[in-house]
């Protein structure tokens, strides 16, 4: 089943997304980027709902820079800003190459139990080196194991229109906001190009 999740289902998702312009394509046709779409019930959010600052991250599960941020910077970011109620973090998908693995991973995240979403995020980034070492099956299996749902439910979720729609919405929102690389961060709607902890902290303090 995990082979199907990693191959056939991913191919179906990429085929369904073929008509969706890339972030760069859509952004190129706009006079200037706009703020990312407002946070909605469809988003996956970590932190207090009433946190005064919203940080939106556009990322890909196969992006090495994204993995570096989540493995090295995120623990400090979470302790300093999320756990203290200062920030809520919104994770949105912007899949990159290799596309099949990126879209499949994004869909597994969307199909996970919402309260387990960030466990899936952690699993994918913590194990990303294994993916590029030829251990894709384990990479997917480890994420499904912490998803809060059986493998059969995750696989069935790939065929639901809302799964594709959620990924399309993330991609179009990223494009409209000018997010043409991963990871891209927005602090209360304003892009922060340097995603170091120091730069994000400066932007967060300025937004308060």
Who has greater pLDDT, 67 or 34? 67
Average pLDDT, the chain: 89
Question: Tell me, what's the pLDDT at 33?
Answer: 79
pLDDT at position 193 over 70: yes
Backbone torsions φ then ψ of 155, nearest 5 degrees: -60, -45
Strand, helix or coil for residue 192: strand
Q: How confident is the model at residue 137 (pLDDT cuts 50, 70, 90)?
A: very high
Average pLDDT over residues 145-173: 94
Average pLDDT over residues 92-119: 96
Q: How confident is the model at residue 190 (pLDDT cuts 50, 70, 90)?
A: very high
Question: Tell me, what's the pLDDT at 159?
Answer: 85
Average pLDDT over residues 116-142: 97
pLDDT at position 114 over 70: yes
Q: Give the model confidence (pLDDT) of 14-54 as tens digits.
A: 555 544 544 554 445 554 678 999 999 999 999 999 999 99
Domain borders along the chain are 2-31+42-181
Average pLDDT over residues 97-102: 94
Contact present, 121 and 109 (Cβ < 8 Å):
yes
Q: How confident is the model at residue 8 (pLDDT cuts 50, 70, 90)?
A: very low
Bond into 71 cis (ω within 30): no
Which residue in 188, 196, 170 sits closest to 26, CA to CA?
A: 170
Looking at the chain, the whole-number percentage of residues with pLDDT higher than 90 is: 82
Question: Tell me, what's the pLDDT at 9?
Answer: 52
Q: Where are the alpha helices (DSSP H) in the chain?
A: 2-6, 8-16, 23-28, 64-68, 74-77, 99-111, 117-126, 128-132, 136-145, 151-157, 161-176, 197-207
Average pLDDT over residues 43-67: 98
> According to the CATH classification, is domain 2-31+42-181 in 3.30.360.10?
no
Pairing of strands 87-93, 190-192: unpaired
Question: Tell me, what's the pLDDT at 6?
Answer: 46
Question: Tell me, what's the pLDDT at 4?
Answer: 47
Average pLDDT over residues 71-99: 97
Tokens, residue 59: 């990322």
């Amino acid at each position: 089943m995990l082979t199907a999740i990693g191959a056939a289902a991913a191919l179906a998702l990429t085929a369904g997304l073929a008509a969706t312009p890339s972030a760069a394509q859509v952004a190129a046709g706009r006079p200037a980027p706009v703020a990312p779409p407002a946070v909605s019930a469809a988003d996956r959010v970590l932190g207090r709902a009433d946190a005064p600052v919203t940080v939106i991250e556009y990322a890909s599960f196969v992006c090495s820079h994204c993995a570096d941020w989540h493995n090295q910077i995120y623990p400090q970011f979470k302790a300093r800003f999320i756990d203290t109620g200062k920030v809520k973090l919104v994770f949105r998908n912007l899949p990159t190459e290799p596309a099949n693995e990126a879209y499949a991973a994004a869909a597994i995240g969307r199909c996970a139990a919402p309260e387990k979403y960030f466990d899936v995020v952690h699993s994918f980034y913590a194990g990303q080196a294994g993916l590029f070492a030829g251990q894709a099956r384990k990479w997917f299996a480890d994420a499904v194991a912490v998803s809060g749902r059986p493998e059969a439910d995750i696989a069935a979720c790939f065929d639901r229109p809302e799964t594709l729609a959620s990924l399309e919405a993330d991609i179009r929102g990223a494009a409209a906001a000018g997010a043409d690389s991963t990871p891209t961060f927005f602090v209360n709607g304003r892009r922060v190009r340097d995603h170091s902890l120091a730069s994000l902290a400066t932007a967060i303090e300025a937004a308060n």
